[in-house]
Structure 1
């Protein structure tokens, strides 16, 4: 058995910080903790939203969690999709089976080539990496952010993504959702009023859809006033001329950023749009790894980059992406229209980022979300507190999840 005193004097600088209680790991001995199982827990919150929670089990009873949602698109996740993710996790499991949860770099290096093969693989890889960091913090009895150098802030500003909570998807509907978020204390919010864009539609259909999206954006601004940060996600629906024309129409709204009017992989197209508009631009939500962001950052295609802890490779990769962005004076606002586990994982990284901007919250879908974790996920005045508990500082509230979630 290893004692706390022995650990404190073992030379590991990370452990010179105040330690909290994580008795099972210390009783077993840190070197004895081994990963024994990977579990996928699908949680259907609404008819279109499923949170895919990944849990790593150990021989000591400790478990670490991550999130693997949204690898199959944002419209829905089916039983078949969940089975596909479960199979993908099984492909990675031999890399961590019977290994210490502290062997994170081994997993990162050995699993990376598979993660590069597509979004599902990248998301499974990222979820396991999240779970390893949660476990690492628990095993060492420190919040995970301490393993990345500590925190520089106690609370994080959060913007409310009101898109999925908006019904009907009309100017009135978007205005009402924005007003609800405002009344709940949020002073930054985002929507995607151009969703369901008829890319192959007639000129009349396209014009009508653009008009409706523009009207909805102005309605949101009117509902919340001039001082709220308002972002618009275009979900890569536009051509270059359409993107520039829409941005010009939206200039009086004073957007905080204009997000992904074209796919971020099209760096030249993104730069053409950036040169033709006055708004700041943001994007990068499904890109993997430093390499996936490198051109965007080096060529300053975006003013704000949006790596997603579920897709970019996990916590360490998000830190590395943010570091190269900081060298170019580019801000980081992690993409996170997801469940509470992804939010908790993102908080651990954002707590220490020098160039952190905002963290995203999928706002207003289900009122029981805040109780899906223990402790509850709480936002006060549009801020989330950085926890001081070991690991991510959370556990699944399985009773609430079982009672409130819908059949997959």
Structure 2
């Protein structure tokens, strides 16, 4: 069995854009005609450049290879160009190719990927959702003083709606803008707003749901500790990425001085970066994104390392449903799985782009029993929604916060 061909799709994500402006999907094809599906989460280059990167890695390292030889392909890509170090863009590209290989292997053996990575240990997977606006764009104008990203009362109302729909955890990030100049000290207004959000949502949902307090590495360790101390009375399940990701030693300072569990990982890649997090005690909840971390096998190794530290995994999702499907496969076979990020209930475009939508019921995802990743791309929908822009998938403010 050999990989012979590659197909790529840059798919525009229509309003309300939950999960990003666009998704980058790919298919690998074998000499026997089996197709494997993958998704790449690379936010460092424009989408058309990313596709050229995918094509380059495919031609150099994947074409002509046996899709079962995942360890060998991983090492060849990881060390390409005399690197042998974590490269978030390169490993993001490889992540999509790697998960497509697993999809092929699963289809060839007639097994879901989770059965090939140790076997299913969870019959259903607890999920959480971000508190998106009820309707309209996921990027509301900042001048609107009444949307859920700035108004605690509106956020509490949305939280109640999500809990009544079945979710037992909700995430929100009211701490203010994040920039390329972070970390910084939070100002008093940001602290007060954050406390108001946590208080209002806790009062609204009581003990029916966990609160997941998100940040984007905005703060210094001392600033994050100041903020955490004021959030502690409301008992969030986690304080996400309180400091920038490049120095886990600083994040560890926060972890040592708050009772709130620290979570991190969406901007990290490979087991080597996650090993530093674990060694430093920087976080007890790891949020690898399967479209960036290096693929399913790399993520499974990270989950195993986490077990030895009694750390848990909560796969991160800010992209499309193919990464979501890979997250599900990892979560299903990982004893230390905690919770899975969901794009609400996997409806809307996230359902339309798949031939069979991800199955979500009463707050839980049910792992598929179909072979491979358990999902198939609806190519007609993908081709009908091309993305021709040049924007990055996710961007930070380019100027310091005044």
Whether TM-score is above 0.5 comes out as yes
TM-score (norm 2): 0.84
Q: Determine if the alignment matches structure 1 residue 109 to structure 2 residue 75.
A: yes
Relative distance call for 1:334 and 1:129 in structure 2 (3 A) is same
How far apart are 1:121 and its partner, in Å?
A: 1.4
Structure 2 SS opposite 1:99: coil
1:3 alignment counterpart: none
Superposed displacement of residue 231, structure 1: 0.7
Relative contact order, higher structure (CA 8 A, sep 6+): 2
Query: 124-133 or 285-294: which moved more?
Result: 285-294
Q: What is the Cα deviation at residue 365 of structure 1?
A: 9.3
2:72 paired with 1:100 = no
Bigger radius of gyration? 1
Secondary structure at the aligned position of 1:395 is classed as: coil
**Displacement over 6 Å in runs of 4+:** 198-201, 404-407
Check 1:34–1:267 CA distance in 2 against 1; reply closer, same or farther (3 A cut): closer
Q: Which residue number corresponds to residue 390 of structure 1? A: 371
Residues 217 and 389 (structure 1), Cα distance of their counterparts in 2 relative to 1, 3 Å cut: same
* Cα RMSD, aligned residues only: 2.6
2:214 to 228, 233, 237: 233
Number of residue pairs the alignment of both structures matches: 369
Q: Gaps (5+ residues) in structure 1? A: 1-30, 73-79
Residue 110 of structure 2 corresponds to 141
The offset of 1:320, in angstroms, is 0.4
Are the counterparts in 1 of residues 186 and 219 from structure 2 also a CA contact under 8 Å? no
Shift, 1:204, TM fit: 12
Q: How far 1:161 sits from its partner (Å)?
A: 2.2
Query: TM-score scaled by structure 1?
Result: 0.83
**Mapping 1:8-407, distance limit 5 Å:** 31=1, 33-46=2-15, 48-72=20-44, 81-94=46-59, 95-114=61-80, 116=85, 118-162=87-131, 165=138, 168=147, 169=149, 170-197=151-178, 206-363=187-344, 367-402=348-383
Alpha-carbon distance in 1 for matches of 2:121, 2:222: 42
Matched residue of 2:50: which SS? helix
Other-structure match for 2:395: none
Query: CA 1:407/1:91 → structure 2, altered by over 3 Å: closer, same or farther?
Result: closer
Structure 1 residues 146-155 or 112-121, which shifts more? 112-121
Distance 2:326 2:179 in 1: 35
The alpha-carbon distance between structure 1 residues 402 and 185, as it changes in their structure 2 partners (threshold 3 A), is farther
2:7 and 2:27 in contact (8 A); partners too: yes
Given that residues 160 and 189 in structure 1 are in contact (C-alpha distance below 8 angstroms), is that contact kept between their aligned partners in structure 2?
A: yes
Task: Label 1:292 to 1:163 Cα distance change in 2 as closer, same or farther (>3 A).
Answer: farther
* Distance verdict in 2 for CA 1:198–1:292, change over 3 Å: closer
* In 2, Cα distance between equivalents of 1:206 and 1:366: 38
Structure 2 unaligned spans of 5+: 141-146, 390-402
